[in-house]
A = this chain, B = another copy of it.
Amino acid sequence: MKNYDVIIIGGGPSGIITGVTGKKQNQEKSFLIIKEEEKGLVPCGIPYVFHDLEGVVQNAMGPKPFIDAGGEVLIDKVIEINTTQKTLKTDGKKTFQYGKLVIATGSTPTIPKFIKGYDLDGVEYIKKSYDYIDLLRQKTDKAKNIVVIGGGFIGVEVAEQLAKFKDKKVSLVEMGNFCLYRAFSKEVVEKADKVIKDANVNLYTNNKIEEILGENRKVTGVKLTSGEKLDAEIVIAAIGYKPNSELAKNIGLEINSNDAIRCDNYLRTTQKDIFAVGDCSQTIGFVTGRTDNIMLASTATAEARILGYNLFGIKLLRNFVGTLSVFSTEINGVVFASAGAIEQSAKYANIDYVVGKFTDVDRHPATIADTSTLMVKLIVSPCTGTIIGGEMYGGKSVGELINVVGLAIQKEVTVYELVSYQIGTHPLLTTAPTKYPLIKAAEMAISKIQK
Contact = CB atoms under 8 A, between A and B. Distances in A.
A262 interface: no
Interface in A379-424: 396-404, 406-408, 410-411, 413-414, 416-417, 419-424
B420 A403 contact: no
Contact of A424 (B309, B403, B429, B439): B403
Query: Which of A65, A317, A319 has most B Cβ within 10 Å?
Result: A319
A220 interface: no
A301 B430 CA distance: 15
Contact of A365 (B42, B324, B365, B401): B42
A316 B416 contact: yes
Given A13-B433, A317-B416, A320-B417, A326 B424 contact: yes
Nearest to A324: B422
A47 B365 CA distance: 12
A369 interface: yes
Interface in A60-107: 60-61, 65
A65 B421 CA distance: 21
A1 interface: no
B401 A403 contact: yes
A335 interface: yes
Contacts of A419: 302, 305-306, 309, 316
Contacts of A401: 400, 403
Given A297-B425, A302-B420, A422-B324, A432 B42 contact: yes
B424 A339 contact: yes
A446 to B, nearest CB: 8
Contact of A48 (B45, B52, B300, B368): B368
A185 interface: no
A402 B400 CA distance: 9
Q: How many copies does the complex hold?
A: 2
A425 B328 contact: yes
A52 B75 CA distance: 55
A289 to B, nearest CB: 15
A447 B24 contact: yes
A53 interface: yes
B397 A44 contact: no
Contact of A398 (B407, B411, B429): B429
A52 B320 contact: no
Contact of A53 (B309, B365, B424, B432): B365
Interface residues of A, number: 87
Given A330-B429, A411-B411, A364 B45 contact: yes
Interface of A: 13, 16-17, 21, 24, 42, 44-45, 47-48, 52-54, 58-61, 65, 286, 296-303, 305-306, 309, 316-320, 323-324, 326-330, 335, 337, 339, 364-365, 367-369, 396-404, 406-408, 410-411, 413-414, 416-417, 419-430, 432-434, 436, 439, 443, 447
B427 A410 contact: no
Contact of A423 (B17, B54, B406): B406
A58 B326 contact: no
29 contacts: A16-B434, A44-B425, A45-B364, A48-B428, A53-B368, A297-B433, A298-B424, A298-B425, A302-B422, A305-B439, A306-B420, A316-B419, A317-B416, A324-B422, A328-B424, A328-B429, A396-B428, A398-B429, A399-B424, A399-B428, A399-B429, A399-B430, A400-B401, A400-B429, A401-B403, A403-B424, A404-B404, A404-B407, A411-B411
Nearest to A409: B422
Contacts of A330: 426, 428-429
B410 A404 contact: no
Contact of A400 (B60, B306, B430): B430
A60 B433 CA distance: 15
A425 B416 CA distance: 28
Contacts of A421: 302, 320, 406-407, 410
Contacts of A328: 424-426, 429-430
A299 B317 CA distance: 34
Nearest to A330: B428
